[in-house]
Each structure stands twice: as C-alpha cells, then as structure tokens.
Amino acid sequence: MEYKSVAYIKKAVLIMITIGGLFAILIPLIWLFLISIKSPLEAFRPESFWVFTPTFRNYFDAISNPSIRRYFVNSFVVASLSLAISMIIGVPAAFAFSKLKSRFKNFLLVYIVLARMIPPMIFIIPYFILYQRLNLINTRIGLAVVYTNFNVALVVWSMWTFFNEVPQDLLEVARIDGASIYQIFYKIFLPLSAPGLTTTAIICFLMSWNEFLFALILTRGATKTIPVGIIDLISYEGVNWGLVSSGAILMLLPMLLFAHLSRKYIVKGLLGGALKG
C-alpha cells in the first residue's frame, strides 16, 4: 500500500508539472489570439480581457496588406530553399557517416557539432562584409545560404542517429544481392528513416521560418521575411497591436498545420531518437 501511495503521488506531481508547463506555453498564445480579435480600444483594457466584442478585422487587414503577403512569400521561399539544400547535402552525408568506414569520421562529426554550437551572432559581421562584396545583401538566395549553413549540421546529426538504428545487416545483404551503394541509400535506408526525415525537415523549416537576426541584418524592403515584417508594423506614430498580433498568429498557422498533418511521423521520429540515446 505504501508503495502504491508513493506511485500515486509521483504520478500526481508529474501530471501537475505537465499541466503547469502546458499552461505556461498556451497562455501567451491565448493572450496573443485574444488581442488579435479585439479592436484597438479594447486591446489593453483590463475590463475587456475576457468580455469584448470579437472582430476579425485585423485578420482581413493583415491578409489584404500587400507587404505582409510579400513577407509571407519571402519566408516560404527562403525556408523551402534552405530546407531543400540542407536535406540534399545533409542526408547523404549522415548516411556516409553512419554506414561507410573512414578514419576521419569521428573527427568530422565532432567538427560539425562544434561548428553548430558557435553562437550565430558571431557570424553576422563576416556574412555582412562578404555579402556586400558578392552583392547578396537583400536577396533571398543569400539568406537561404546562411540558413543552410546552420541547418546542414542539424540534418547530419539528426539523420546520423536514425541511420544508426537501421541494422548494418541490411546493407550487407543488399550488397550481396548486387545493389549499389546509391540503390541501398535511396531504396532501403531512406524509406526506413521516413519518421526521422519528417522530423528533421520540420525542425529545419521551423528554424528558418522563425529566424529573425540574420533576416533583420541581411534583408531590406521587398525581401524581408515575416518575423522582420511584423516588427516593421511597430512605428513611431503608434502601434496597431491587433494587426501585429494577427500577423503573428498567421505566421504560426503554416507550421501548426504542417506539424498536425505530420504528427504521426514526428512522434515516431522523436521516440526513435530517444530510444537511440
């Protein structure tokens, strides 16, 4: 009985911690959504926090704003381009690190993770000077290259873990059957690592979609991404917090939809990485 009581207490504490963490995550989002459906006069009135007349005018204004639509397109193009390049480079590299023998494999893996651990802020000035000389300031491709440099390391380490879970015997059997290393990679290892591919792709896309610092420094005007574009809605003349909040909510929707549609693979991918560790 005493053992069961301790187990119940631990379970109750765990549930309360989970609920507390959930509230800590959801309360800012709920508050942001409530502001987005309020009029400017009701946005910060204490008495209007729960009781107010909802309006979707802010969302109509955000969607009809050509600058905001352009910022969304820029974010999608840059994040998609960075994701495609990162996966094309990182996934084969992870397979090579996992299944092919090399004396420098461990050194290169450590080098990759150390390069990813360096604070990105350190690279701002070198990138800015280099991009000025190459005329890549204020270009989508320039920003995508920056994001790719950071995402490749994430792809390599993440997919290396998943490829390690695939038994080495499959590779040996496929070689005996006459399959080339490219056929083994594309027809065996990629399908088996689909949860890892999905999870890695979502994380890489999310990091590029939400990135702010490099987008602020390296883009101007028509090439700004949505995180920077939302900040531009704050001016010296005043702040339409309803428009800012609705823009932020709209920025979250693509990733929430993407994650919802891919939730099965995300769970498999996260559990696979956890079991490997």
Asked if 215 and 224 count as a contact pair (C-beta separation under 8 A), the reply is: yes
What are the residues facing 238 on neighbouring strands?
A: 235
Using CB atoms within 10 A of its CB, is residue 178 exposed (0-12), middle (13-18) or buried (19+)? exposed
pLDDT in tens, 216-226: 999 888 889 99
- Spell out the SS3 assignment of 198-267: HHHHHHHHHHHHHCCHHHHHHCCHHHCCHHHHHHHCEECCEECHHHHHHHHHHHHHHHHHHHHHCHHHHH
CATH superfamily of 58-276: MetI-like (1.10.3720.10)
Kindly report, residue by residue over 81-104, the tens digit of the pLDDT.
999 999 999 999 888 888 777 777
Q: What average pLDDT does the segment 202-229 reach?
A: 89
- The dihedral built from the CA positions of residue 193, 273, 211 and 28, taken in this order, carries a sign that is positive
pLDDT in tens, 100-116: 777 777 777 777 777 77
pLDDT of residue 130: 92
> What's the confidence (pLDDT) of residue 2?
55
State the average pLDDT over residues 223-235.
Answer: 85
Average pLDDT value for residue range 229-258:
81
Task: Quote the percentage of the chain above a pLDDT of 90.
Answer: 21
Tell me the sheet residues that pair with 239: 234
